[in-house]
Structure 1
Amino acid sequence: MTAGDSASAFLLLTYPALAMLFDGAASALMIAAVLLGLAALPTGRAGHPVRLDGLGRAFCIALAAPLAAVALSTLAHGHPVFPVWDSPSRFLLVIPVFLALRRRPERNLAWADLAFPAGALATLFIAIFLSHDWSAGDHRLGSKFLNPIHFGDLALAFGVLSAAALNWWRKDKPWVVALKIAGLFAGLATSLLSGSRGGWLALPCVLAVILWERGRGKSLRWKVLMPLAIVALFGIVYGASSTVRERIDVVASNLTQYEHGHEDTSVGVRLQLYKVAVELIAQHPVLGLGGHGFRDAMNSMAQQGRLTPAAAQLGKGEVHNQLLAYAADYGIVGGLALLAIYAVPALFFARRLRSASAVAHNTAMLGLLFIVMFFVFGLTVETFDLKGTVSIYVLIVAALAAIADRTDNGASNASPV
């Protein structure tokens, strides 16, 4: 194994765990991966895929779209606001990682097999030993540098992917099965401790994707009984967990208060911000308000009575919806660029679910589940406003896309463990 192969294997195995454990590691390791990718591109290996198919090219174009949209909007407004270019630039920067990983030997890529259980277990370790209580009295745990929402969402994602990675590259040994199941429960437990109910919305969507994919060719009885069993399971969890019950019941309470004019609740503030974001998008539809445009509009919106002062203050931090945030600041152009970041990779993975290679098929399923979860996360929080979270999303999507593409031509017998 060459030095480049060793470095790639190390990053594939450890990235989720290190990104959660150390402040700044997500961005630093992503940059290291980009540099490794750039260094490896001129040294393509014979017999390894180099040319991209149509979806591969579309994948790279989609990765370039957010930065192009942000640059177009901010430059058109005459205020480049270069700091807002940072996060979208990471989508573009990861293209060399995708291209370079497609040329790596499969035995090198297979080290990713244990990455998600390691990441999920790392989140539980943080929650038990290194957590930080970000709340005022309700004990919602995050890490020292990730608030409970982002921390809980990522823990949930790694837990789900840990279970979905069972028999990813081969039939797993018993200890590997145990580790991956432990990763699932670690991610679920950490998500529960974080109280991040917005992330819990992703679970029905994930299960719907799994049922859709696994249900092909199954009997009608299976297709009816499995969804009913899942609904029953959610009911049991709701009844058995006071944390889940309390967090969900708060939503109903907040909605009732909102209807009666008390708008400054967690849900009420979000609804106010969503309403104002839609109004601002309608006023500036094509290129939006420009960099920090939504944030800078908050004071005037409050003075006009469009939202409460408390909501305006929180709106200076974020819109609490990733799509509305991009559309408000960068217009329809920005909104479409953001949708491309979800839709094109999802199509890329969905197409490879048909692959004759079990590895490519399993990798595509992991990629599709990860994208679905991040899309749902983004409905209630801005997932790409933090450099760390955007780095985690884009590097994992690029790595999974490269593995799916690399293994798509046949079955793999790679075995790092």
Structure 2
Amino acid sequence: MSTPTTDSSPSVSPRSLLPAIFLLTYPALTLILRGGASAVSIAAAAISLALLLSPKSWGVLAPISWDSVNTRFSIAMASPLVAVLVSEIWHARIVSNTLDSPSRFLAAVPLFLVLRQTLGRTLAWSDLSFALGALASLAILLIAPQSSGIDRISSRILNPIHYGDIALVLGTLSILSLNWWRKDSLPIRILKIAGLIAGVATSVLTGSRGGWIAVPVLTMLVLAVRGQDKSRHWKMLLPIGVGAIMVCVFFSSSSVRDRIDDLSSDLAHYKQGQKDTSLGIRIQLYKASINIVKRHPVFGLGAHGFHDNMQSFADKGVLTPMAAQLGKGETHNEFFAYLTDYGVIGGMALLSIYVVPCAIFWKRLNAPSAPASRAALMGLTFVVAFWIFGLTVETFDLKMTVSFYSTLIAILAALATYADKEGSGVQALAP
């Protein structure tokens, strides 16, 4: 990649200092500070909304040139909140705490609109953010590990499953950011490679095996997107290299081997009728979810419907008492969580926050601007990773994780599409 113009260099004016610092530090702050993801994302959304609503005479933000990208992104991010409200109005029971999580998707809209207006040199401050976030994830485990109570470690602010998944995706984004805005110097390359290693190491230490499913899928995704103009050797070396890393991790880590062995053991026990294992409980909950969807397909059960029906399922023998108790916490599948409580309209809304960003990123993979094209690949990777994470755990039941996802989507979507505004005279936050 050629050295970018001054507009893509990480310089910043006093007016752009706040968004620059935000872009650089957000992933790390998410993992370091309790409530950091929520507090920072809410503050960013509030500031962005204030900028959007400020009088034009102030000259703080140039008028937004509304286009189809803004429309699709805004509708997708608003759809979970709309679906929840429609379902709860249908059931004549609106529960305020169920509106918190979906409202955070909507809060990402003003942030996206403002960042998309920002100059490339301000956006370029995101260059090291993913590497710093991944390194922070490992540093926390090494300096202040916390026992999760299930023989696995995590941080004091997040459970090992979500923590390991976030670290893994940050490590992936770190390596994908190589030569993102310019040809990186050797120290920067080392830092970004270290970010990948840190993300993988953190995932291994937490034992979050659900996230490991994403590794081969993301490898094939990157190979399909980046391999079009690469040599045959590159296409062979990438999957071989990833496979070699996975083999090395397997044979060098007893915890990884134990987690894989547990999976096969759980499956064998389930076939023998012993259902109260990690895998067995998930299978029971999935079957219960399918049963609910069949009986309440359109609007679901309403607020906390899955949670409230666990005891009745246990009484009927559909779930074991242990599965019913754990099911009061979550369904262990994000799609089933929305389908059971909010029906098909909830499921469609959930799909929109995956599919619409993916479509935006896919279209920008061949963007004329190299930084925007790379951001599109990173965004596509991020969404696919979170979709895979959600197959085995609820990813949006915690304020931190939904804030993290929606904010990163807003950032990456703005990075992938900001160049659409270049040369149009719409350059808000300009120095």
Q: TM-score, normalised by structure 2?
A: 0.90
Match for residue 67 of structure 2? 53
Describe the SS at the equivalent of 1:305. Answer: coil
* Amino acid of the structure 2 residue aligned with 1:284: H
CA distance, structure 2, for counterparts of residue 64 and residue 172 of structure 1:
38
Match for residue 63 of structure 1? 77
CA distance, structure 2, for counterparts of residue 300 and residue 197 of structure 1:
31
1:342 to 2:371 alignment: no
> How far apart are 1:190 and its partner, in Å?
0.8
**Contact 2:51-2:60 within 8 A present in 1 as well:** no
Match for residue 43 of structure 2? 32
CA distance, structure 2, for counterparts of residue 188 and residue 304 of structure 1:
43
**Contact 1:319-1:325 within 8 A present in 2 as well:** yes
Which runs of 5 or more residues in structure 1 are unaligned? 412-417
Describe the SS at the equivalent of 2:196. Answer: helix
Describe the SS at the equivalent of 2:228. Answer: coil
> How far apart are 1:209 and its partner, in Å?
0.7
Match for residue 95 of structure 1? 109
CA pair 261-375 structure 1, distance change in 2 beyond 3 A: same
> What percentage of aligned pairs have identical amino acids?
50
> How far apart are 1:105 and its partner, in Å?
1.8
1:213 to 2:189 alignment: no
CA pair 124-231 structure 1, distance change in 2 beyond 3 A: closer
Describe the SS at the equivalent of 1:51. Answer: coil
**Contact 1:356-1:408 within 8 A present in 2 as well:** no
Match for residue 41 of structure 1? 52
Partner of residue 262 from structure 2, selected from 237, 246, 250: 250
CA offsets, 1:353-372, max 9 Å, x none? 01111011011111111111
CA pair 334-306 structure 1, distance change in 2 beyond 3 A: same
CA distance, structure 2, for counterparts of residue 239 and residue 254 of structure 1:
21
Match for residue 376 of structure 2? 364
* Amino acid of the structure 2 residue aligned with 1:8: P
CA distance, structure 1, for counterparts of residue 274 and residue 148 of structure 2:
24
Partner of residue 312 from structure 1, selected from 308, 324, 335: 324
> How far apart are 1:155 and its partner, in Å?
0.8
Match for residue 15 of structure 1? 26
> How far apart are 1:55 and its partner, in Å?
3.3
**Contact 1:56-1:348 within 8 A present in 2 as well:** no
* Amino acid of the structure 2 residue aligned with 1:404: A
* Amino acid of the structure 2 residue aligned with 1:10: I
Match for residue 412 of structure 2? 400
CA distance, structure 2, for counterparts of residue 149 and residue 221 of structure 1:
35
> How far apart are 1:342 and its partner, in Å?
0.4
CA offsets, 1:49-76, max 9 Å, x none? 8324323311111000000000000111
Describe the SS at the equivalent of 1:407. Answer: helix
> How far apart are 1:48 and its partner, in Å?
6.8
* Amino acid of the structure 2 residue aligned with 1:113: D
* Amino acid of the structure 2 residue aligned with 1:369: T
Describe the SS at the equivalent of 2:88. Answer: helix
1:134 to 2:145 alignment: no
How well do the aligned residues superpose, as a CA RMSD in angstroms?
Answer: 2.0
The 5-angstrom pairing of residues 15-414 of structure 1 reads 15-42=26-53, 50-136=64-150, 138=151, 140-218=152-230, 223=235, 226-227=238-239, 230-408=242-420
> How far apart are 1:212 and its partner, in Å?
0.5
Which runs of 5 or more residues in structure 2 are unaligned? 1-11, 424-431
> How far apart are 1:46 and its partner, in Å?
11
CA distance, structure 2, for counterparts of residue 220 and residue 178 of structure 1:
25
**Contact 1:4-1:36 within 8 A present in 2 as well:** no
CA distance, structure 1, for counterparts of residue 237 and residue 171 of structure 2:
25
* Amino acid of the structure 1 residue aligned with 2:190: A
* Amino acid of the structure 2 residue aligned with 1:12: L
* Amino acid of the structure 1 residue aligned with 2:96: F
CA pair 405-189 structure 1, distance change in 2 beyond 3 A: same
> How far apart are 1:215 and its partner, in Å?
1.9
CA distance, structure 2, for counterparts of residue 410 and residue 98 of structure 1:
16
**Contact 1:352-1:408 within 8 A present in 2 as well:** no
